[in-house]
Chains A and B, each alone.
Chain A
């Protein structure tokens, strides 16, 4: 089974609808991230969380919100979807142990979101 899972994998929604993307991980990592990928722009950070009580905005957080329901779960919400939020969304995790961080990130399979 995959260590980092995302649901749904594909979603088509209409402008103005609320949508939630979910991410779960079994790696035991404390750090979780949400990115979006657009053609020609590379991956950009939306939100990140270093533990359950720690939520931080990334470079493109406007129009998005997140919830860290548990160490293993990190959800991304679009409160009122708009067409320019059409993109590929990735969740990622990284871990720390013994007081040292591991920078290496592990990615989920991605969610392809289309807003019409």
Chain B
């Protein structure tokens, strides 16, 4: 069982819809990383958070440390948001290495 589980694996939505991608993990963590992988393959860091909530434009990331769960929300989704969204955690064992989920493939239809 992967230490990091994402759901759904695939998501197709209409432009304008509110999107939620979930990430659950099984170990204590120091921080959680949300990444976006474009269709061309490039990976971009979206958020790094260890508590609460962060917002950047139409993207919001939340984390609940007690429940070992994080969500990534996209408001007013747009076709350019189509990408694979990857969640990764850094365990609190002190080695500072990322453990990755397998990603959620999001497709926004115009």
Contacts and interface: CB of A to CB of B under 8 A. Distances in A.
**Genuine A/B complex:** yes
Query: Does more than half of chain B's interface fall in helix, strand or loop, or is it mixed?
Result: strand
Interface string A7-45: 000000000000000000000000100000000111111
Given A103-B90, A109-B42, A41 B30 contact: no
Contacts of A112: 41
Interface stretch (B14-22, B62-70, B93-101): B93-101
Contact of B97 (A58, A102, A109): A58
Query: Does more than half of chain A's interface fall in helix, strand or loop, or is it mixed?
Result: strand
Given A103-B33, A107-B43, A43 B97 contact: no
A45 B43 contact: no
Q: How large is the interface on B (under 10, 10 to 19, 20 to 34, 35 or more residues)?
A: 20 to 34
Contacts of B100: 42-44
Interface in B55-94: 86, 88, 90
Contact of B102 (A41, A101, A107): A41
B48 A103 contact: yes
Given A42-B102, A101-B96, A106 B45 contact: yes
Contacts of A88: 41
Q: How large is the interface on A (under 10, 10 to 19, 20 to 34, 35 or more residues)?
A: 20 to 34
A43 B43 CA distance: 11
Contact of A104 (B33, B41, B97, B102): B33
Interface of A: 31, 40-45, 48, 58, 88, 90, 92, 94, 101-107, 109-110, 112
Interface of B: 2, 4, 30-31, 33, 35, 41-45, 48, 86, 88, 90, 96-98, 100-103
